[in-house]
Amino acid sequence: MLDELDVRPGHTALDLGCGPGTDFEALAAAVTATGTVLGIDHDQAIVEAARARTADQPVVDVRSGDVHDLTLPDHCADRARTDRVSQHVSDPRLALSEVHRVLRPGGRLVMGEPDWETPETPGAGRQRSTTSPAWTARRARSTVSSFSPTGAT
């Protein structure tokens, strides 16, 4: 997913439903000191844990918030990602429209979700998935292409 996100120096990258911020370090390295990584999650305890983990990374800002109602200006972000978040939100369409609002034209969104319907082995049922990150990212990109018809830059 990080490769697909193509974060560059100076970018503002949103990690929506960031949880503990597992990928903050990689995102911070990609935006460099001139960029910003903004993590948002609606679970205050997780936000505080993520803040504690990234206290030594000045480009990382972790905020409490809801993906249905992002308190961010229009077109403020170059990149956005959700990793295993959409399956939890009550109104994915509204959340997606908020992401569209805050992404700049030509910005990029990468979304990853497990494919619970595709068993890896017969009998594995909902426990396993064959969905690769690359496949998920491609699907997400094609979904979002309607949001950024000029392509990401």
| CB closer to ligand SAM, 19 vs 119 | 19
Cα–Cα distance for residue pair 108/128, rounded to 1 Å: 28
Kindly state whether residue 17 participates in binding ligand SAM, applying the rule CB under 6 A: yes
Kindly state whether residue 47 participates in binding ligand SAM, applying the rule CB under 6 A: no
Tell me which DSSP letter residue 147 carries: T
Cα–Cα distance for residue pair 98/60, rounded to 1 Å: 21
Kindly state whether residue 68 participates in binding ligand SAM, applying the rule CB under 6 A: yes
CB of 24 to ligand SAM, least distance (A): 10
CB of 36 to ligand SAM, least distance (A): 18
- Let me know: does 76 contact 104? Beta carbons within 8 Å: yes
Kindly state whether residue 137 participates in binding ligand SAM, applying the rule CB under 6 A: no
CB-facing half-sphere around the CA of 152: CA atoms within 13 A = 20
Kindly state whether residue 66 participates in binding ligand SAM, applying the rule CB under 6 A: yes
Of residues 3, 52, 88, 114, which one binds ligand SAM by CB under 6 A?
A: 88
Size of the site for ligand SAM (CB under 6 A): 16
- Let me know: does 108 contact 152? Beta carbons within 8 Å: yes
Cα–Cα distance for residue pair 7/29, rounded to 1 Å: 9
Kindly state whether residue 133 participates in binding ligand SAM, applying the rule CB under 6 A: no
Footprint of ligand SAM (CB under 6 A): 17-19, 22, 41-43, 46, 66-68, 83-85, 88-89
